[in-house]
Amino acid sequence: MHTENEWEARYQAGTTGWDRGQASPGLFYWLDQGMLVPPAQVLIPGCGNGYEVDELARRGFDVVALDIAPTPVNNLRQRLLHQGLKATVEQADLFYWQTDTPFDAVYEQTCLCAIDPTEREAYAEKLYQWLRPGGLLLAQFMQTGQEGGPPFHCALGEMETLFPPARWRWPDQAGPVVDMGEGRQERGYALVRR
Ligand SMILES: C[S@@+](CC[C@H](N)C(=O)[O-])C[C@H]1O[C@@H](n2cnc3c(N)ncnc32)[C@H](O)[C@@H]1O
């Protein structure tokens, strides 16, 4: 299990190899496909520096972003302020975070692969609870093909078990494939919460 302090230490040391310094091409793929339409309410758990938050806020989405580490939360808040953009950014442990108003969409990028695999079921339950029926989970499943992590490999067969068809409608076609370097890829899937 990785605590707030461990993630914070990574941000302070700058050992943040996942941070591309700009919004992911995966997000632009979903936007170009019309999967997300403003002013939808979008949640980004484990947002990190959250460049996707800027992009969605700029386009008129109602965005809530969470991260357990204070440094990226502060970075993101400052950036939004400087750009005159509005979004809700909270420093919170996603396993304890709740909402009274379920979201239209969750953008899941490099958070599932960051948490310990023993916590995946609890995270999948949170994703289910955070979304309204018919809401969209835009999941980027990390493919490392390796043991250990983070990032932990998200084998697609295991994802089908974690997000079972009784609760989630899987798409006929996969979405974007984003190169993450070091032989890793994120494979995007748009799942509909039943
Ligand atoms: C690999 S980073 C990805 C950050 C961002 N999504 C990106 O793509 O740049 C994983 C992020 O999840 C956050 N995180 C890990 N466990 C968390 C938890 N229990 N609650 C909230 N955030 C968490 C970390 O602080 C870190 O910023």
Q: Is 93 near ligand 1, meaning CB less than 6 Å away? A: yes
Q: Is 89 near ligand 1, meaning CB less than 6 Å away? A: no
Do the Cβ atoms of 17 and 181 come closer than 8 Å?
A: yes
Q: Is 23 near ligand 1, meaning CB less than 6 Å away? A: no
* Closest CA relative to residue 52, chosen from 71, 86, 27: 27
Please state the length of the chain: 194
- Containing 50, the helix (H) or strand (E) segment is none
Atom 14 in ligand 1: which residue has the minimum CA distance? 46
Q: What is the mean pLDDT of residues 139-143?
A: 98
Atom of ligand 1 nearest to the CA of 97: 20
Does 11 have pLDDT greater than 90? Answer: yes
Do the Cβ atoms of 189 and 141 come closer than 8 Å?
A: yes
Atom 3 in ligand 1: which residue has the minimum CA distance? 110
Express each pLDDT in 73-126 by its tens digit: 999 999 999 999 999 999 999 999 999 999 999 999 999 999 999 999 999 999
CA–CA distance, 112 with 73 (Å, rounded to integer): 18
- Ligand 1 center–CA 48 separation, angstroms: 5
For position 22, what pLDDT does the model report? Answer: 98
Q: What is the mean pLDDT of residues 6-16?
A: 97
Q: What is the pTM of this model?
A: 0.97
Does 57 have pLDDT greater than 80? Answer: yes
Q: Is 63 near ligand 1, meaning CB less than 6 Å away? A: no
- Ligand 1 center–CA 164 separation, angstroms: 24
Question: What's the pLDDT band for 1 if we cut at 50, 70, 90?
Answer: low
CB neighbours (10 Å) of residue 81? 10
Domains of the chain, with CATH numbers? Answer: 4-193 (3.40.50.150)
For position 4, what pLDDT does the model report? Answer: 86
CA–CA distance, 60 with 56 (Å, rounded to integer): 6
- Ligand 1 center–CA 94 separation, angstroms: 9
Q: Is 68 near ligand 1, meaning CB less than 6 Å away? A: yes
Which two structure tokens, joined as six digits, stand for 169? 């409608």
Say which residue the tokens 């999967």 belong to.
Answer: 35
Express each pLDDT in 33-46 by its tens digit: 999 999 999 999 99
Type of residue at 133: P
| Measured CA angle at 93 (ends 46, 118), to 5 deg | 80
Atom of ligand 1 nearest to the CA of 2: 16
